[in-house]
Amino acid sequence: MKVRAQVGMVMNLDKCIGCHTCSVTCKQVWTNRKGTEYVWFNNVETKPGLGYPRRWEDNQHWQGGWKLDRRGRLRLRAGGQLRKLLTIFWNPDLPVIDDYYEPWTYDYHTLIDAPLSDRDPVARPQSQLTGKRMDVRWGPNWDDMLAGAPETAPHDPDLAGLQEQVRLTYERTFMFYLPRICEHCLNPSCVASCPSGAMYKREEDGIVLVDQDKCRGWRFCVSGCPYKKVYFNHHTGKAEKCTLCYPRIELGLPTVCSETCVGRIRYLGLVLYDADRVQEAASEPDEKRLLEAQLRVFLDPADPRVQEQARRDGIPDDWIDYAQRSPVYALAHRWRVALPLHPEYRTLPMVWYVPPLSPVVNALEQDGYEADPDQLFPAIDSMRIPTAYLANILAAGDSETIRQALGRLAGMRSYMRKLEVLGVRDQQAAAATALEPTEIEAMYRLLAVAKYEDRYVVPQAHSEQAQRLSELPGSCGLDFEGGPGSCGALPRPTQAVNESFMLGRRVGAGHRLVPLPMLKPGPGPGH
Amino acid sequence: MTLQEALLFVALPYASITLFIAGHVWRYRHDKFGWTSRSSQLLERRWLAWGSNLFHYGALAAIGGHVVGLLIPEQLTRAVGISEGAYHLFAAAAGTVAGLACVAGFLILIGRRAYFPRVRHTTSWTDVVVYAVLAAIIALGLIETIGFNTLGAGYNYRPTVGVWFRGLLWLHPEPQLIASAPLVYQLHATLPWILYAVWPFSRLVHAWSLPWQYLGRPYILYRRRYGLARR
């Protein structure tokens, strides 16, 4: 057993309102630069829909992720190391930018510069690749909220084999949102695909990053990632990807997408896992049992043997404590309501999803059922749609897994409804979820009440080592003439800073706020 | 040795080699972030499939031919029983195939760069310099291989160009040897020194990054934040 810690995420799809705030804030922080105009480390897709890049889930085509060879050994789907070197001059599996979209801006200047005229000036779209005028024919979230779905949605790879059952007529339609970031997989195929050795997984927190100084732009990570979450910066010629906002995570702060999530759907927490058994789990022969295999790789942070080994493997005590309070571990392992995205890619992804109950409710209403929570639980059993569709996304096609997760969520609603309305702790409803009443109520608090400090349980990185290195020269770099002064008085940024920024409270013991520099009002142009 | 010979066939090569080495050291130390193949496959993929593969594989074969032709002395191939005639035949045939592949690829790549505005937009001025020099070198090489050696009577460059080139490496330059070669050979031997001088400052540096180490490497790499890389 070799214990490692991983920062994981869970998204509660029932609560995603599709506002794209996560995408926009992420973009403003990370990808509002030349070369990354088309890049969204975080994006929100409407399902059913094509996704971004279009049909990314069709890995028969893109050849991302892993597969088992005839002898059951784990292999990169796109081929091994020799094959990669032979195709290095032209990667046969690389998407082109039109599979994402051609980025554009508008010639806003015409709005200001246009000569006097009878007609209002119009800012026309302009390609950010060439600077030329262009016709916008596809863009980010082009099929948002099922826009154009009669044309596009039938090509959703997750609908394969379900066309008979899913009729995309207006009355029968259903949809939900799927926010996506890098999965920071336990068995990342992008890392395995990088010939330069520029990509790596951090031992301490499992974040997958690209070393920009080592990347040589061979592009195999882009095609090797089955989620298409590594992007090619066409300006720098290097690969870039979601960093899980590691500068924030290291300070114990949630990622930008989590922090700004309006629906409060995101959860961040530690998962301890056994690094020695990752390969074995990813090699599970039966795709439908990959979920179980991955759950077996996770280690129970409350188990004293795990704790002992974790300490031996260099995991700090406070991290073990954080792991025990992890909402990610609770939702994925303890309650089993969170599921991995496309486990069949065999990368053991670490951003999991609580499947949405709402499409089921919608479909039930259309079938003449009342959306009475009490009726939901039995009704899910008779539902074939969209559980089969959800299963294609979150369970390698195994509807039973979806049914159980949805059943537990419906049971929780039923139980809580009786508790809230009638004040009764209904044992029967509790029994249906196969959870103790206290557990159901804890799950409800986490999913429905979703307090900030319960959603984001992220420990600070232990950077004492690095701190010591910078202190070595024995001098302070800040007390130069006109500088901020001696280092001794400078507090290090802490979680408290952000808490107070967000909520204006909770300045933890021993933490001081960093005062923002005040700008002196200077003489304006009119003075 | 005339002044012109000394400048073109001695001074230029050594100046170029110096710039080549110093330039690479500087680039590697100061611009690892800019060290990339600068692939434009994201912007256009169909033409690149033919252009890039033909050019790179053709160029690699041609480079291999040059290594054999310039670095291995004629006496050595004769000693192992390869006659000048047999060597000439092989060199002309293989050189023609490689050269044509390289030229076809190069033309497709240049055409692609000119035709697709997206790709044209990414072209830097160093690219233009490199393409111009490369085009001249490839054209001259093709004239030699096909014009002189395949269709013409042939010219045995090994006692002249080859000896001059090896003399440069051993610090015993003999510029009069290359000066006795036909003009096309002289030009083809001179222009690459300009390419080598530009090399470290252009995208050509990606040639040194062909990732051999990927073969046999463990797939998943881990790193510690404060410490050495570890498997």
Contacts of A305 (CB under 8 A, 6+ apart): none
Q: Among residues of chain A, what percentage have pLDDT more than 90?
A: 72
Q: Is the dihedral of CA A142, A145, A149, A154 positive or negative?
A: positive
* Euclidean distance between CA atoms A373 and A351, whole angstroms: 28
* Euclidean distance between CA atoms A244 and A257, whole angstroms: 9
Q: Is A158 exposed, middle or buried (0-12, 13-18, 19+ CB in 10 A)?
A: buried
Residue of A nearest to B29 (CA): A213
Residue B215 lies in a domain: no
CA distance readout (Å), A364 to A48, A331, A381, A403, B116: 18, 26, 12, 15, 52
Q: What is the pLDDT of residues B22-73, one digit of tens each?
A: 999 999 999 999 999 999 999 999 999 999 999 999 999 999 999 988 988 8
Question: Shortest Cα distance from B13 to chain A (angstroms)?
Answer: 29
DSSP one-letter code for A416:
H
SS3 readout for A75-107:
EECCCCHHHHHHCCCCCCCCCCHHHHCCCEEEC
Least confident interval from A95-99, A296-300, A522-526: A522-526
Q: Where are the domains of chain A?
A: 487-515
Amino acid, single-letter form, for residue A44: V
Cβ separation of B48 and A90 shorter than 8 Å? yes
Q: Which helix (H) or strand (E) is A199 found in, with range? A: strand A199-202
| pLDDT of B92 | 87
Cis amide bond preceding A48, omega within 30: yes
Domain CATH for B33: 1.20.950.20
B114 close contact with A: CB closer than 8 A: no
Higher-confidence residue: B158 or A248?
A248
Q: What is the pLDDT of residues B73-131, one digit of tens each?
A: 888 888 888 888 888 888 889 999 999 999 999 999 999 999 999 999 999 999 999 99
Angle between helical axes of A373-382 and A358-366 (0-180°, round to 10)? 90
The mean predicted confidence, pLDDT, of chain A is 86
Of the candidates A230, A231, A236, the one whose C-alpha atom is nearest the C-alpha of residue A212 is A236
Residue B70 lies in a domain: yes
Q: Which helix (H) or strand (E) is A454 found in, with range? A: helix A452-455
B109, B167 in Cβ contact below 8 A?
no
B231 close contact with A: CB closer than 8 A: no
* Euclidean distance between CA atoms A126 and B23, whole angstroms: 39
Distance of CA A198 to the CA centre of its chain: 22
SS3 readout for A236-262:
CCEEEECCCCHHHHCCCCCCHHHHCCC
* Euclidean distance between CA atoms A341 and A227, whole angstroms: 9
| pLDDT of B116 | 97
Backbone angles phi, psi at A167, to 5 degrees: -105, 125
Residue B51 lies in a domain: yes
Residue B230 lies in a domain: no
Q: Is A202 exposed, middle or buried (0-12, 13-18, 19+ CB in 10 A)?
A: buried
| pLDDT of B25 | 97
| pLDDT of A410 | 86
Asked if the model's pLDDT at residue A79 lies above 60, the reply is yes
- Assign residue A434 a region: left if phi > 0, alpha if psi is -120 to 50, beta otherwise? left
Domain of residue B93: give its range: 3-208
Contacts of B190 (CB under 8 A, 6+ apart): B8, B9, B12
| pLDDT of B84 | 82
Banded pLDDT at A405 (limits 50, 70, 90): very high
| pLDDT of A386 | 76
Contacts of A93 in chain B (CB under 8 A): none
The 8 Å CB, 24+ separation contacts for B100-103 are: B100/B58, B100/B142, B101/B54, B101/B55, B101/B57, B101/B58, B101/B61, B102/B54, B102/B55, B102/B58, B102/B59, B102/B61, B102/B62, B102/B138, B103/B58, B103/B138, B103/B139, B103/B142
Higher-confidence residue: B100 or A377?
B100
Sheet containing A199-202: order of strands: A208-210, A199-202, B222-223, B229-230
Question: Shortest Cα distance from B227 to chain A (angstroms)?
Answer: 9
Banded pLDDT at A472 (limits 50, 70, 90): very low
Q: What is the pLDDT of residues A407-452, one digit of tens each?
A: 899 889 889 988 999 999 988 888 888 899 999 999 999 999 999 9
Strand partners, A274: A3
Residue B228 lies in a domain: no
Contacts of A218 (CB under 8 A, 6+ apart): A88, A91, A194, A195, A196, B37, B39, B211
* Euclidean distance between CA atoms A77 and A63, whole angstroms: 5
* Number of Cβ within a 10 Å radius of residue B31: 13
Alpha helices per DSSP H over A87-174: 97-100, 109-113, 149-152
| pLDDT of A365 | 59
A131 close contact with B: CB closer than 8 A: yes
Longest dimension (CA), chain A: 81
* Euclidean distance between CA atoms A339 and A398, whole angstroms: 12
Q: What is the pLDDT of residues B147-193, one digit of tens each?
A: 887 788 778 888 899 999 999 999 999 999 999 999 999 999 999 99
Distance of CA A136 to the CA centre of its chain: 28
The mean predicted confidence, pLDDT, of chain B is 92
Of the candidates B64, B84, B61, B89, the one whose C-alpha atom is nearest the C-alpha of residue B74 is B84
| pLDDT of A463 | 67
Cβ separation of A196 and B214 shorter than 8 Å? yes
Asked if the model's pLDDT at residue A495 lies above 60, the reply is no
CA distance readout (Å), A28 to A183, A256, A513: 21, 10, 25
For the residues A249-269, what does the mean pLDDT come to? 96
Number of domains in chain B: 1
* Euclidean distance between CA atoms B166 and B127, whole angstroms: 30
Residue of A nearest to B215 (CA): A81
Backbone angles phi, psi at A351, to 5 degrees: -115, 110
B172 close contact with A: CB closer than 8 A: no
If you count residue pairs, one on A and one on B, with CB atoms under 8 Å apart, how many are there?
A: 134
Sheet strands (E) in A379-431: none
Contacts of B57 in chain A (CB under 8 A): 89
| pLDDT of A513 | 43
| pLDDT of B85 | 85
The first and second tokens of residue B80, run together, are: 């192992």
Alpha helices per DSSP H over chain B: 3-6, 12-30, 46-71, 74-79, 84-115, 117-121, 125-142, 163-169, 175-179, 183-198
Residue B218 lies in a domain: no
Contacts of B229 in chain A (CB under 8 A): 200
Q: Which of A216, A218, A347 to mutate to test the interface with B (most CBs of B within 10 A)?
A: A216
The first and second tokens of residue A359, run together, are: 């499409």
Asked if the model's pLDDT at residue A134 lies above 90, the reply is yes
* Euclidean distance between CA atoms A239 and A265, whole angstroms: 29
Q: Which of B214, B223, B231 to mutate to test the interface with A (most CBs of A within 10 A)?
A: B214
The first and second tokens of residue A190, run together, are: 């992008």
Q: Is A480 exposed, middle or buried (0-12, 13-18, 19+ CB in 10 A)?
A: exposed
Of the partner residues A97, A196, A469, the one whose CB lies closest to the CB of residue B209: A196
Cβ separation of B41 and A201 shorter than 8 Å? no
Higher-confidence residue: A395 or A371?
A395
- Cα atoms found within 13 Å of the Cα of residue A229, Cβ hemisphere only: 27
The first and second tokens of residue B18, run together, are: 């110096």
Of the partner residues B36, B120, B212, the one whose CB lies closest to the CB of residue A215: B36
Q: What is the pLDDT of residues A170-223, one digit of tens each?
A: 666 778 999 999 999 999 999 999 999 999 999 999 999 999 999 999 999 999
Q: What is the pLDDT of residues A352-374, one digit of tens each?
A: 999 998 766 665 655 555 555 55
Sheet strands (E) in A287-337: 298-299
B210 close contact with A: CB closer than 8 A: yes
